[in-house]
Structure 1
């Protein structure tokens, strides 16, 4: 019975954070090639609160919802064409970002300093994944891809990394205290 409760809690956590990502994706500032959106903030929050495994599962769920056509991506877009299009690399990068960000926190400590380090690393991972796909899909040079897919997002990315760290650690601590999250990493078979 206890195992079933743990599994249910994991499913609910992942579903809630996939939904939060879908909602924050609609907060966007349009730019010519790649918009600035709340998706990356949501990825950082997800990883900071849930950790590597659940964070990555939540992002797989988010990507899957969009892949089947639900309008969960930035600008109320959905469908496989978004994933194979110029911005799809960022979405695939969210899965890796959530895992790496959460992994760093699990191997160090869930505190503001380590969360900021982990979220900055995560931001870099997202930008690398997104820029690689952007370059090849739009047949850009590396300089063009960096100019369109990295440089405009550095300052905003650092702000979002700080917000994800601060809000994420605050929320995580409260969820642990309320026993909605385990204090230590918990494995579910």
Structure 2
């Protein structure tokens, strides 16, 4: 990794921390909060690509595991990975990687529709699949109940997909080498 890569990774880890400043709203069924932070892996993957996007999330998660209160609501420490949100947090890194991989793969064919589809796939389908599986284990409920309990998140996450799509396409036009380096 060169200096530019390190700066991008650190910048997006910082962005993820900043998005944690928005207060969370915790749903009673699953104990998983609605936060702005799930926008960051979408942006990281779509703008930085697979490797740098995933690394920015991993850096953020390492800082959280070390105890920095960077999660929404000022949470931090290794214990948060064992709670109901743990699968979503690990899923953030995988989501960023998948989004970045698909953006890189379809780089020459990106438009609003397929960019939104890629971000929705990685940022909702993949993330919910992993996160809901862990919620089911952590809270001791069925996968189906965890999935139904996550439905209120869809509206906000769909809005995040549109924000990430607009930002990714704007960056692609203005700085094409950021995403495809």
Q: TM above 0.5, one fold?
A: yes
- After TM superposition, the score normalised by the length of structure 2 is 0.90
Q: Deviations over 1:45-78 (max 9, x none)?
A: 1111101110000011011010000011121100
Q: How does 1:78-157 map to 2 (within 5 A)?
A: 78-109=76-107, 110-122=110-122, 123-148=124-149, 150-157=150-157
Please state how far the C-alpha of 1:80 moved relative to its aligned partner. 0.5
Query: Is the contact made by 1:49 and 1:168 (CA closer than 8 Å) also made in structure 2?
Result: yes
Please state how far the C-alpha of 1:93 moved relative to its aligned partner. 0.1
Q: Give secondary structure in 2 for the equivalent of 1:77.
A: coil
Q: Deviations over 1:119-166 (max 9, x none)?
A: 110111111111111100111122321122x21111221111111111
Please state how far the C-alpha of 1:24 moved relative to its aligned partner. 0.7
Query: Is the contact made by 1:26 and 1:37 (CA closer than 8 Å) also made in structure 2?
Result: no
**Residue 3 of structure 1: aligned partner:** none
Query: Is the contact made by 1:55 and 1:102 (CA closer than 8 Å) also made in structure 2?
Result: yes
Aligned-pair Cα RMSD in Å: 1.6
Which segment drifts farther, 124-133 or 137-146? 137-146
**Residue 163 of structure 1: aligned partner:** 163
Separation in 2, partners of 1:12, 1:119: 23
Q: Give secondary structure in 1 for the equivalent of 2:171.
A: helix
Separation in 2, partners of 1:73, 1:17: 14
State yes or no: 1:29 paired with 2:30. Answer: no
Q: Deviations over 1:63-121 (max 9, x none)?
A: 10100000111211000001111101000000110000011111112433222011110
The alignment of Structure 1 onto Structure 2 pairs a total of residues equal to: 175
Q: How does 1:64-83 map to 2 (within 5 A)?
A: 64-83=62-81
- After TM superposition, the score normalised by the length of structure 1 is 0.86
Which segment drifts farther, 83-92 or 24-33? 24-33
Query: Is the contact made by 1:135 and 1:145 (CA closer than 8 Å) also made in structure 2?
Result: yes
